[in-house]
Amino acid sequence: MRKVHPEFAYQSRELEGQIEGILGDPPDRKNYQRMVDALVGEYADGGGIEDVNMLAFALVDHIEFNNPKGLLAEAEDYEFGDAARVFAMASCKGDEPARMYEAIAESMPDLARQAIITAFLHKNPRKWDDDDQSLEQLSANDDGDDIEDEDAASDDFAQMFDQDGE
91 SS3 class: strand
Q: What is the pLDDT of residue 90?
A: 95
24 and 31 in contact (C-beta within 8 Å)?
A: yes
Q: In a structure prediction context, what are the per-residue pLDDT tens digits for the chain, which is 166 residues long? A: 578 888 999 999 999 999 998 888 888 899 999 999 999 999 999 888 899 999 999 999 999 999 999 999 899 998 888 999 999 999 998 999 999 999 999 999 999 999 999 999 999 887 777 655 545 554 555 666 555 555 666 666 666 666 665 5
Q: What is the pLDDT of residue 43?
A: 94
Task: Determine, yes or no, domain membership for 117.
Answer: yes
User: How many structural domains is the chain composed of?
Assistant: 1
Q: What is the pLDDT of residue 136?
A: 56
Domain containing residue 110: 2-132
- Long-range CB pairs of 5-10 (<8 Å, 24+ gap) are 5/75, 5/76, 5/77, 5/78, 6/131, 6/133, 7/78, 8/75, 8/78, 8/114, 8/117, 8/118, 8/121, 9/121, 9/128, 9/130, 9/131
In DSSP terms, 91 is beta-bridged to 64
Q: What is the pLDDT of residue 134?
A: 47
Task: Determine, yes or no, domain membership for 61.
Answer: yes
Task: Determine, yes or no, domain membership for 113.
Answer: yes
Task: Determine, yes or no, domain membership for 49.
Answer: yes
Task: Determine, yes or no, domain membership for 149.
Answer: no
Task: Determine, yes or no, domain membership for 26.
Answer: yes
- Report CA 26 to chain centroid distance, whole Å: 25
Task: Determine, yes or no, domain membership for 154.
Answer: no
Q: What is the pLDDT of residue 27?
A: 83
CA distance 56 to 31: 18
Task: Determine, yes or no, domain membership for 144.
Answer: no
